[in-house]
Amino acid sequence: MTAIIEFKQVTKRFETQTVLQELNLRIEEGEIFVIVGPSGSGKTTSLKMINGLIEPTEGNIYFKDKRIKDYNLQKLRWQMGYVLQQIALFPTMSVKENIEVIPEMLGWKKERREARVDELLREVDLDPEQYRDRMPGELSGGQQQRIGIVRALAAEPDIMLMDEPFSALDPLSRTSLQDLVLTLHEKLGNTIIFVTHNMKEALKLGDRIAVMQEGRILQCDTPEVIQTQPKDSFVRAFFDEAKEGYETQTVAQLYAGGFFQKAVAEELPRVRLNAGLPELFALMTTHAEVALEDEAGKVVGKVTSADVFRFLSREE
């Protein structure tokens, strides 16, 4: 695959504080790459370096094999949509005017801009006739963030940078917008770099996940590998956060939902259907597959690490 973004030995210091330490990272074209970690781990600093809002103290960041610092930054940012937690729509501009900001700067003709506005509003299930002339203050938080996403997509950027975009929203709006990101990504195939402190959100969205702590990447891999093969106790703790709320559920619920495989061709560790999910999760940290047995001790299938991933990422 082709790297669209690459960090090479990037360090960032603010006076005496080191925020990033010798960061090396490749982000592939067309993937959803999620950076997850606690507050102060360096997530947002890393994101802001990609569009030149923050410069590295040492090392270089590359966009399409060219150093960020060698670009005209204004033109570079036109190739990168940016969605923040603080929705930051222009309050005195209509929905249409907000969406048109970058296309207008790029010199798009009026007809093209208007067609793009209506097209994108339909993509996020907002009727253009009803919403294009509304003001941001007339919209709910979830609707405003949909407009924020649309505005970031308006000029057909190569990359979408998303910094904790849904953390201030209610759970229903958050789930809806996560689904929207996945749907739009499937249609557009663009590269998304998504920052969050929520591991469950990272597991749902990411093709790959980088877990950060104190300016370093502890592990960078697929959601399945990070769940089933966490490199250390810190990464495991983030995985445990994603499992929060499953303590009272049983293996039978996973089985009933179809998150299992029928064929069992080898001797595997076993777990009863009436066992709690924590018992299964404990086995999955050391075994990629676990056999399921009913109350009579009969094996009825097996669970793989991929099944666990699908179960944890499902809509509840």
DSSP β-bridge partners for residue 273: none
Give the number of other CB atoms < 10 A from CB of residue 65. 9
Indicate if 232 and 284 belong to the same structural domain.
Answer: no
Q: Distance from CA of residue 263 to its chain's centroid? A: 33
Run of H or E including 50: helix 43-50
> What gap in Å lies between CA 31 and CA 24, rounded to an integer?
18
Q: Of the residues 219, 243, 267, which one is the last residue of a structural domain?
A: 243
Indicate if 221 and 273 belong to the same structural domain.
Answer: no
Indicate if 154 and 106 belong to the same structural domain.
Answer: yes
> What gap in Å lies between CA 281 and CA 228, rounded to an integer?
9
| Coil/strand/helix, residue 79 | coil
Indicate if 160 and 303 belong to the same structural domain.
Answer: no
Indicate if 229 and 294 belong to the same structural domain.
Answer: no
Q: For 229, list phi and psi in degrees, rounded to 5.
A: -135, 55
What's the pLDDT at 86? 75
What domain count does the chain have? Answer: 2
Q: What is the CATH number of the domain that holds 275?
A: 3.10.580.10
Q: Taking the model in full, what pTM does it have?
A: 0.77
Indicate if 202 and 232 belong to the same structural domain.
Answer: yes
Q: Which of 208, 174, 176 is nearest to 194 (CA)?
A: 208
Q: What is the CATH number of the domain that holds 29?
A: 3.40.50.300
Indicate if 229 and 148 belong to the same structural domain.
Answer: yes
What's the pLDDT at 109? 95
Indicate if 10 and 145 belong to the same structural domain.
Answer: yes
Indicate if 110 and 205 belong to the same structural domain.
Answer: yes
Taking CB atoms within 8 Å and a gap of at least 24, the contacts of 221-230 are: 223/309, 223/313, 224/305, 224/306, 224/309, 227/203, 227/284, 227/305, 227/308, 227/309, 227/312, 228/284, 228/285, 228/288, 228/305, 228/308, 228/309, 230/285
- Burial code (b: 16+ CB inside 10 Å, e: under 16) for 109-142 equals eeeebbebbbebbebbebebeebbeeebeebeeb
Q: Of the residues 217, 243, 269, which one is the last residue of a structural domain?
A: 243
Q: For 315, list phi and psi in degrees, rounded to 5.
A: -80, 135
Instruction: Give the range of the structural domain holding residue 161, as residue numbers without chain letter.
Output: 3-243
What's the pLDDT at 305? 73
> What gap in Å lies between CA 5 and CA 63, rounded to an integer?
5
Q: Of the residues 209, 243, 277, which one is the last residue of a structural domain?
A: 243
Name residue 288's amino acid: A
What's the pLDDT at 237? 75
Question: What is the Cα gyration radius of the chain?
Answer: 22
Indicate if 188 and 58 belong to the same structural domain.
Answer: yes
Q: What is the pLDDT along the chain (316 residues), one digit of tens a residue?
A: 689 999 999 999 998 899 999 999 999 999 999 999 888 899 999 999 999 999 999 999 999 999 999 999 999 998 999 998 777 789 999 999 999 999 999 999 999 999 999 999 998 889 999 999 999 999 988 889 889 999 999 998 999 999 998 887 777 788 888 988 999 899 889 999 999 988 888 888 999 999 998 899 999 999 888 887 888 888 887 777 666 666 667 888 888 888 888 877 678 888 988 888 778 877 776 777 889 988 888 889 998 877 876 776 665 5
> What gap in Å lies between CA 294 and CA 169, rounded to an integer?
41
Indicate if 205 and 295 belong to the same structural domain.
Answer: no
Under 8 Å between Cβ of 261 and 292: no
What's the pLDDT at 310? 72
Indicate if 171 and 267 belong to the same structural domain.
Answer: no
Assigned token pair, 23: 């960061």
